[in-house]
Each structure stands twice: as structure tokens, then as C-alpha cells.
Structure 1
């Protein structure tokens, strides 16, 4: 096969890039290692920045989000001193959209099907070749045969464990990483959300988050040691611990029920540089991972898509390679800004193993400043709704 842009990975970033490029008349082939049902079974976060929402609309994949998504104009922070609200609308006149990543992926698949895009599932052992030449290509295995896709450019949208980043030589690639000494135990339950907005809780027993997917589907998290396993936590034990970390008035009225999904996710901050090597570009989790505290993972992937799409459009329409040449530099500026915000939220809200009473008071003071200093609230709100592209 021959195409203009070969895309490794059929998650939301690969699908969004393929959708936008195809709509602009640029051909793509998407190679995905798993089948579609597997991709759509992944449970991920669901807070969309304004930029991501606008991209879904531009891609013709926003009809269901606009109908079923939940715009949110702020969030709550809870401490031992009480709970307060940060209004995104009041501070920066913006909002976010609560809409699950699984739903975003489904909508992008539907949009790709409508335009007849080429997506190859169950593509094993995808491998980039001749990346630094003018004629890169991809090979993959399917149905016992090795197949080849010739292309002008390769977009590595294949996640943290994918082949794309590993194809950049060690003497060129530099990785930056911080692994946090705890994880998030999360459950999904068919229950009414605890509040109309998300609640981020700092508590001496550990962090907690009360989130939602819709009016009858809630998503809750508690901080747990990395040594914990899902089977260590019954539903009743989870609810009891969650309630102990949330404000009493919230816990008293919380609806509980059986979990329909339960998992533990480790937390890490990770960035690799550069995000371009030859004719290959890294996109999303292939290049960076953020703790989920700041709700930036999917949104950062979409901003990468934005920059790469703009660069490819300029190249194919006007013969201008400036956007592609600056892709890594421009994308990384926004990535490090979001990385800082996610690191700050994580550091402020979690209980660390060696944390002293002094450290706890510093966290509480940081939160109190958001309550009392308008510029602190505005900075938080601007970062949460998303730095501009």
C-alpha cells in the first residue's frame, strides 16, 4: 500500500489525525495492534478542554458529545478546613466538557467509517523503516503475512509502550521522568454523582476525586500504595475509604452501589525529546505521560495532533515545511506547561510516604491561597481549561 501519512495506533490521537487529514484531502493508513472492541473497552479519563472540544467539532465527530456531554464551569477543592469552588467561568470565562474518552474514540471511529478511512486492525509487529530517508515505510504482520505501507511521513500515535519512541536512537532521544510512590484506585458505578462539579480532596489519609460520566454514571478515585491490588479492595471498603476523605456533607448524601469497573493506575510524569526524528513524529502518550490529577492526558494528545496537522497541511498545500520543522519545539512548550500543572496538582493534593505534618500544612496553605487570592484561582482555572494552542 502507499499513502501520504502512515499512522501507528488507532486510539483517539491517531483517529483524530487521520480524520482531519482525510477531510483535507491527505491520505492516511492507520495501523492498530488490537481489534476495535478492545480499543473501545479501554476506560480512560473524560474531561475535555475547549481546544479538544473544538477539534472534535472541526472533525465532524461532535454531534453526540454536544448532545450527551456535560459542560462544567468549575470544580471543588476539599481540605480539612472545608470545601470551596473555583469557577472557570468567573475566572477566565471558559468551561470544560465532561465526556468519556471511550465515547470520544467511538465517535471518531464512526466519523472515520463515514468517510471511508483506511484502518487496519490486528496489525502485529508494526515496524518503521528508513525513517531518516525521503521514503520511509512501515511493515506489519496480519493473517500470517508481512505487509508494507509506503508513506511520506509516519505519525507515532501508539502510546507509551509502542514502537515509535523506541525507534529513535538512544543517543538522540532524552527522557525525563518522575514516578510517583502511589497509584489511583478507581471505580465506575451506576450511581448519581456526588456533586454537580468534580471534587478534588486533600486529606491526611490521602487524595480522593469525585468525578462523573453522566447523571447516572460516576467515577471515583482514591490514592493507594503501589503495593495494593484491586482484589484487596471490596466495593464496601472502597466506599468507606472514599467517604472518609470527602467532606462530611458530601459523604452523607452520596449514593453508593456495585462497581462496574475497578482498576489501579500508577502515576508518572514522563516526557521524551525530541518529538521528531527524520520523517517520524511522536504524538500523545508515545511522547509524554502526565498524572491524571490535572486531566491533561487526552487533551495534550489532541494539541499534538493540532500542531502536526497544521504542519502537514502547510507542507502539502503550500510546500512550507516550517510547521513540521518546528513541531517538536512548539508542541513541547505546551507539553511542559501542562506537565508543570499536573505536577503541581499532584504535589498539592496527595499524601506522600515521607510527608511530615509541616508538608501537610504547606499543602493546605497552597489550597487556602487559591481560596483567598484571585490571581491564584485565575492561574489554576486557565491551566485547567487548557493553555491556548
Structure 2
């Protein structure tokens, strides 16, 4: 391992950022740990272009950790709608409450204490500590792992514990000596991985720009830039079918709150059946269902005969395909009209007027579906 590269890595990276790093992002140059935290969570698994639009809006609605902690979860989920990975939103809300209750509304500066907060892992804790408190704390997100694996020629899959431990040790060793350099250094690491040392089109292979580490990068010198870091080959994502009930009464639609630990946990969605494994080379089910059969699939706990008797129409609607990170789902929509606003047991089923749907956190494909209905009658779900 090159001692010279270790010695001057931070200085060289900071110099690169001054010339070629991203500038003017709304979360840059701020030291408010709350604002830093929100940006770090939002940037996880969400493209920067999307966050550029949504981050200012979120901060305007919830400007302080106290405001966020006091807000109803439904308001937080509604504001998060469309960003995906909704566990992040639930954790944001829970973490805000935790900061208020355990730390009197002030984020701790110590990375180890930050790691104890809901939804904050080691790398995010390091980023908050570095940006907000100038702590010499390392980060190790996917971009940083790729940079270090390539520069230092680290073999082995990055999912392996031994490799991950080696990368953490290296990340700590490379930190700048002066704590005041931590914000720009941490931002430079993120930017370098996101814009130059990218997964598929790093600048060293394009010939358009000269990488500052070109002559020291072990992956470049050995012709393994696209082979490092090593990754475990993922199995093909499984596919599933399910049926969704779009039950309407007048200008209202029936929504069901999803269980916290389920996909789209805590959001309001259409009542749905259990997922069924999609058979290979088979078409999605197009069987005609009776209202009673449909209710038995999607609302098996609702046994009142008045539910079935009040429904006057059933029509097979669109089939929507939605791709998750690790699975694919085919959702068959069934349109049913009810002559009565039937009361259902429990608090997880609610009749919502179409004009009020923008106040609820909805999964993106369901939001788009219902927005089509809403626009057809002159309303608009968009916040």
C-alpha cells in the first residue's frame, strides 16, 4: 500500500474539489446538525437532482428538529411521498423525537452517540459529525468504498466483513490532520465518487479529464478499474402478483394504512391481497372475480355482509408493474363502487375524499393512479 498516497491523499482531494467539485448545493456550507442530518438521510438512495427539489421543501415545512418531532407521522410521510425507501421517513420522525427526549433537542457531536439514534448508521454519523462539528470522523458509503478499493487495489467483495473492516481502517487513516478541513474533505469524497470515480464511466477511461490519482491508482495501473470493487453476484429479483381494491363512494376512496414493517410501511394505500409468486412465462391473472371473492382476498377480516351488498359494480382495471430494489410486483387494480360509506372496523381503514389525498403519504404508483382519478374530476393531489 502506497505510503506516499496515504500521506497526500487528503490534500490532493481537497485541491481537486476546489477546482472540480460540486459547488452551491443547498446543504453545503451549513453547520446546523439538523439540516445536515436531513440532507444525509434524504441523499441515501435518492438522486441528487431529486433531493435538490425536495430538500428545501422539506426544510420549509419542518425547519427544526422540534417541529419535525411534533408533527404527525402522516404529515412526514406525505412530505416524503415519491422519495422512496419510506423507512427513512419513519426513522427521521422517530429520531427527531429521540433527540428531543434524550438530548434536549440538540444533536450530539460524538459519532458514537450519533450512531445510537434511530436510522443513523456509522457512515451517516461520521458525515454529520464532520460537517456540523468538524470532528475527524470517517465516512464509508458506496462511493467511498469504490474510491478506496480502486486506489489501493483492495481485492475481495466489499460485502465481506474483513474487506469492510479494512476499508474502514483505511478511511480513518486517510483523514486530514486539521479538523477544520473535515467538511470540505468529506464533501470532496462524496463528490469524487459521484462525479469522477463513478461505477460505470469513471473519467480515467473516458480520456476527457485527468484524474489527480491517475498515476497512483492501483486499479488503473493494473487495468481493473471496472472490476474493482468486487461485488457479490445478485440473484434475479423475484416477481409477484397481487390484487388491489379501488373502492369508491361518491368522491371518496377507501385507503388502508400499511403495517410499519411491511413494504411502504406506514403509508396509506389501496387494500391489497397477499402477494403470490408470479409463475414463469405465465400471464397475470385475468379471472373475473365477484365482489365477495375480491373482499375475501383483500379484506379477509371484514366479514360484514353489508360490505358486499353495498357494492354495485366491479370492473377490472389497469395492471401496474412496480420495481423494488429486490423484487418486482404486478398489481391488478379492481374498480368497485359502493352505494354506502360502509364503516370498517379498526383505525387502519379510512374513507378519504379525493381532494384531501395530498395530505396523506401514498406509495408513488398508487399516488399516480389516484391522481389520474382526481384530475379527471378537477382536483390535483400534488402538494
Instruction: Give the TM bin, normalised by the shorter chain.
Output: under 0.3
TM-score, with length taken from structure 2:
0.26
The structure in which a higher percent of residues are strand is: 1
TM-score, with length taken from structure 1:
0.26
Q: Which has the larger radius of gyration?
A: 2
Higher relative contact order (CA 8 A, sep 6+): 1
